[in-house]
């Protein structure tokens, strides 16, 4: 019953078919992974994509958490003997976390508040009398409660008002009233802490020293910036309704029913309830809610950037030279074979202060010849442009015309080089060699190399250290898993770090696959996976379709056709009087197939369409082709920039407020969202994507703060 209610709620919230949601929840409960469900269970889900399935999973977890909380609330109220059928019905029908807490608030085990102390002094009956607002002379009534710690009538009335204030603050309709005011009119205000204004840390938040705007218009990046400023002690942040007096008046209209003396006391209690109890509570609630929404935005931006980075165009299996450039310490050079194995490494010193240019030139030429280098990858850090110019000069000669040259992002390479993974791969090499290897491998296959690095270290996030780290890790892991399974993985060359993201595997099974491969040699068929220790039928079903075997016994093993569908393809081939290989290689034969003939109770048109599409391009990499790029040779540093220049650049990061672009001066410039296009856009990703080659105009240079402002729309 609970699952049916949850499915109904999710279907309504996400505007999806209830049956599709029910089936998806059932598949998730069976332990199926999102990529597997999206790719191989389209009949059951109605063709839902990964984003929709992930949203169903997230909503389901949230609603099940609320269900657990409801059970706790119900149990606590029942133990107090205060449960009624009406109250139980309200709890059962409530699926809003805030509303549930409002319902529960009067029954929560209490700490020793002022109201609780007044109750212990026997003042609750007086509070009830005052709330009726019939007494013209409440002092006379109050004297009846003077005893023990209650010294006089004034003390009794004060205690009763504390009880009334707490009653008002815990009342569900009162909380909704103040919530509504915040929802409509709340403003976020940021003020500088004067003692921090002129500090180096303080200057980072200069834009928010005196800032005020409606909360509903405050963008996620501005709110996160202000929250960070507040956490670092530079800013004071508050979220308030547009008028406290109006909120007090609304509460008084709700609770005060008489103009007599009792009514005036209730009116005072209502004001106290707002200022002392309700306002701080609702402000905290809205701050937390706004923070959560801003964090979700930031996580979404990070995940979107990470997806684009992981799906960057690969060079493929080529012999690559990787160069980690540097001045004083030299350039670390590595030579890799087609599989990314390290063949040779050394350091060269073509730049100041050592300037062994001719020696470095000879060594690079020798390495290119000896190791049959087909492409060179240079890291984009310090001395990158100088190293690129040095290598270009070598490649200009006729002898090296076929060698391609690329500049590669080295974000996170130093993190990888010092990691446990890198130490296991290269126990006898130092961090500089490992870093250069990472740069070379990133050119060959960005996805296979970047999965070894904590996504937070790759440099494509926005406030990633300020957001909920558990939620961030989960979203980024899902993104990596989605990308790995979208591309597919070569079963015979993939590292355990890449294999662990394949649907249904994980670190243990990934290691077992690599160990089995080391002991028994390359896999020749997907069915061999069943011999891997601890890889049972369920894991095989989840992972098999995403693993590729090139040159195996069955040509379908190098495709996204799932082994459970092999009999269908074999029947298609048989019906056409040919082999499966002929079916793959012959377009005319495939064109004769009527897929409707192969529909069964389990297999429908969506799966059959996917099979035909896959037979047309088995094993094809869905990523784009790699493009070469050149910075403007006349611009080397920020000092070379002049406002009005139009320059080529590469997008290095996309945020909610704009995109950062590398124009080759060792300091990325910002294209603000307002400078993206000559039309209104909601997000920079509508115009640019990570690693896109763009032309930008320099519109402002702030050398004091080391900021470069750029424009795309003015080009």
Please give the mean pLDDT across all residues of the chain: 92
With cut-offs at 50, 70 and 90, classify the pLDDT of residue 706. Answer: confident
Q: What percentage of the chain carries pLDDT values higher than 70? A: 99
pLDDT band at 549 (very low <50, low <70, confident <90, very high): very high
Report the residue count for the chain. 715
- pLDDT value, residue 601: 84
Buried residues in 700-715 as b, exposed as e (16+ CB within 10 A): ebeeeeeebbbbbeee
Question: Is 371 a residue whose pLDDT tops 90?
Answer: yes
pLDDT of residue 196 exceeding 60, the answer is yes
If you search the block for the tokens 């702030």, which residue do you land on? 702
What tens digit of pLDDT does each residue of 232-263 get?
999 999 999 989 999 999 999 999 999 999 99
624-655 pLDDT, tens per residue?
888 878 888 888 888 889 999 999 999 988 98
Checking if the pLDDT of 104 tops 60, the result is yes
Give CA separation, 708 vs 459, 460, 641, 705, in Å.
Answer: 19, 18, 9, 9
Q: pLDDT at position 442, please?
A: 93
b/e sequence 211-239, b meaning 16+ C-beta within 10 Å: beeebeebebbbbbbbbbbbeeebbebeb
Residue listed under structure tokens 């690129």: 388
Q: How confident is the model at residue 412 (pLDDT cuts 50, 70, 90)?
A: confident
Query: Does an H or E element contain 367, and which?
Result: helix 357-370
Once rounded to an integer, what is the mean pLDDT over residues 504-510? 95
Region 107-123 average pLDDT: 90
Q: What is the pLDDT of residues 72-93, one digit of tens each?
A: 999 999 999 999 999 999 999 9
CA distances for 613 relative to 421, 544, 562, 569, angstroms: 37, 18, 13, 12
pLDDT recorded at residue 524: 95
Percent of the chain at pLDDT > 90 equals: 73
Q: Is the pLDDT of residue 551 over 90?
A: no
- pLDDT at residue 634, as a whole number: 87
pLDDT tens string 436-447: 999 999 999 999
Per-residue pLDDT band for 656 (boundaries 50, 70, 90) equals confident
> Could you tell me the two tokens for 653?
């990061």
Asked if residues 250 and 181 have their Cβ atoms less than 8 Å apart, the reply is yes
C-alpha span between 619 and 278 (Å, rounded): 61
Asked if residues 465 and 448 have their Cβ atoms less than 8 Å apart, the reply is no
C-alpha closest to that of 659 among 611, 693, 635: 693
- Confidence band, pLDDT 50/70/90 cuts, at residue 466: confident
Q: What is the pLDDT at residue 396? A: 86
Of 155-169, 185-199, 449-463, which range is least confident?
449-463
In this prediction, residues 451-455 reach a mean pLDDT of: 86
Mean pLDDT over 130-134 rounds to 94
Task: Assign 414 a pLDDT band (cuts: 50, 70, 90).
Answer: confident
User: In the prediction, which pLDDT does 275 show?
Assistant: 95
Measured distance CA(194)–CA(11) in Å, rounded: 51
What's the pLDDT tens digit per position in 563-578? 999 999 999 999 999 9
Q: Which two tokens stand for residue 224?
A: 């996160």
Q: Which helix (H) or strand (E) holds 120?
A: helix 114-120
- The residue written with tokens 């073509």 in the block is 350
Residue 266 CA to residue 162 CA, distance in Å, equals 10
Mean pLDDT of 502-507: 94
Contacts of 552-557 with C-beta under 8 Å, sequence gap 24+, read: 552/523, 552/524, 552/525, 552/526, 553/524, 553/525, 554/525, 554/526, 554/580, 555/580, 555/581, 555/584, 555/618, 556/580, 556/618, 557/525, 557/526
Mean pLDDT in residue range 380-407: 90
Rounded to whole angstroms, the Cα distance separating 560 from 289 reads 42
Q: Model confidence over 313-337: pLDDT tens digits?
A: 899 889 999 999 999 999 999 999 9
Task: Report the side by side order of strands in the sheet with 187-192.
Answer: 210-214, 187-192, 235-240
User: Residue 1 has what pLDDT?
Assistant: 53
Tell me the pLDDT band of 2, cut-offs 50, 70 and 90. Answer: low
Position 213 pLDDT exceeds 70: yes
Q: Rounded distance, CA 37 to CA 16, Å?
A: 16
pLDDT tens digits, one per residue of 421-441: 899 999 999 999 999 999 999
- Parallel, antiparallel, or unpaired for β 693-702 and 646-654? antiparallel
Pick the residue with more confidence: 621 or 178? 178
pTM for this structure?
Answer: 0.85
Distance CA 445, CA 590 (A): 32
């Amino acid at each position: 019953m609970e699952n049916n209610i949850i499915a109904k709620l999710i279907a309504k919230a996400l505007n999806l078919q209830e049956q599709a949601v029910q089936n998806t929840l059932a598949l998730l409960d069976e332990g199926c992974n999102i990529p597997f469900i999206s790719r191989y269970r389209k009949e059951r889900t109605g063709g839902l994509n990964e984003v929709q399935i992930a949203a169903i999973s997230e909503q389901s977890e949230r609603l099940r958490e609320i269900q657990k909380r409801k059970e706790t609330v119900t149990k606590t109220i029942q133990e107090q003997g205060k449960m009624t059928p009406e109250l139980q019905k309200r709890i059962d029908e409530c699926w809003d976390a805030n509303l549930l807490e409002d319902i529960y608030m009067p029954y929560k085990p209490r700490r020793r508040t002022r109201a609780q102390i007044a109750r212990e002094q026997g003042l609750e009956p007086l509070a009830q009398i005052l709330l009726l607002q019939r007494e013209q002379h409440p002092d006379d009534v109050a004297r009846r409660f003077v005893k023990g710690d209650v010294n006089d009538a004034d003390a009794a009335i004060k205690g009763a008002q504390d009880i009334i204030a707490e009653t008002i603050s815990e009342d569900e309709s009162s909380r909704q009233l103040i919530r509504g005011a915040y929802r409509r009119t709340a403003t976020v205000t940021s003020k500088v802490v004067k003692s921090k204004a002129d500090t180096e840390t303080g200057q980072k938040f200069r834009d928010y020293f005196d800032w005020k705007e409606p909360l509903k218009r405050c963008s996620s990046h501005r709110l996160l910036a202000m929250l960070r400023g507040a956490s670092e002690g530079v800013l004071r942040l508050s979220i308030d309704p547009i008028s406290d007096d109006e909120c007090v008046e609304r509460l008084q209209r709700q609770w005060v029913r008489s103009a007599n003396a009792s009514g005036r006391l209730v009116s005072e209690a209502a004001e106290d309830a707002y200022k002392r109890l309700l306002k701080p509570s609702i402000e905290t609630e809205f701050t937390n809610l706004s923070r959560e929404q801003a964090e979700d935005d930031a996580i979404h931006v990070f995940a979107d950037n990470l997806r684009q980075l992981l799906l960057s165009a690969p060079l493929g299996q080529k012999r690559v030279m990787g160069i980690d450039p540097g001045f004083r310490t030299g350039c670390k050079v590595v030579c890799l074979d087609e599989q990314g194995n390290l063949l040779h490494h050394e350091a060269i010193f073509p730049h100041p202060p050592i300037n062994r240019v001719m020696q470095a030139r000879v060594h690079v030429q020798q390495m290119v010849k000896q190791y049959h280098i087909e492409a060179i990858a240079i890291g984009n850090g310090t001395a990158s442009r100088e190293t690129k110019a040095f290598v270009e000069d070598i490649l200009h000669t006729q002898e090296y015309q076929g060698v391609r040259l690329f500049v590669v992002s080295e974000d996170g390479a130093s993190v990888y080089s010092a990691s446990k993974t890198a130490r296991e791969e290269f126990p006898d090499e130092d961090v500089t060699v490992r870093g250069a290897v990472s740069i070379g491998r990133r050119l060959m296959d960005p996805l296979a190399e970047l999965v070894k690095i904590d996504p937070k270290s790759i440099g494509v996030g926005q406030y990633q250290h300020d957001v909920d780290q558990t939620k961030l890790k989960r979203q980024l892991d899902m993104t990596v898993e989605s990308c790995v399974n979208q591309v597919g993985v070569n079963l015979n060359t993939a590292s355990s770090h890449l294999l662990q993201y394949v649907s249904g595997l994980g670190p243990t099974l990934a290691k077992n696959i690599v160990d089995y491969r080391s002991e028994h040699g390359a896999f020749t068929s997907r069915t061999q996976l069943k011999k891997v220790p601890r890889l049972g039928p369920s894991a095989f079903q989840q992972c098999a379709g995403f693993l590729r075997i090139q040159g195996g016994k069955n040509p379908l093993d190098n495709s996204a056709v799932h082994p459970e569908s092999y009999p269908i393809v074999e029947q298609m081939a048989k019906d056409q009087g040919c082999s499966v290989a002929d079916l793959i290689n012959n377009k005319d034969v495939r064109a004769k197939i009527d897929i409707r003939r192969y529909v069964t109770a389990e297999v429908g048109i969506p799966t059959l369409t996917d099979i035909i599409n896959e037979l047309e391009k088995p094993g094809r990499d869905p990523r784009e082709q790699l493009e070469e790029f050149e910075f403007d040779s006349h611009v080397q540093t920020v000092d070379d920039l002049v406002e009005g220049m139009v320059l080529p650049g590469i997008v290095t990061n996309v945020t909610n407020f704009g995109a950062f672009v590398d124009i080759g001066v060792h300091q990325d410039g910002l294209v603000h969202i307002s400078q993206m296009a000559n039309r209104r856009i909601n997000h920079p990703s509508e115009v640019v994507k990570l690693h896109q080659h763009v032309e930008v105009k320099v519109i402002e240079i702030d050398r004091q703060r080391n900021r470069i402002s750029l424009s795309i729309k003015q080009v």
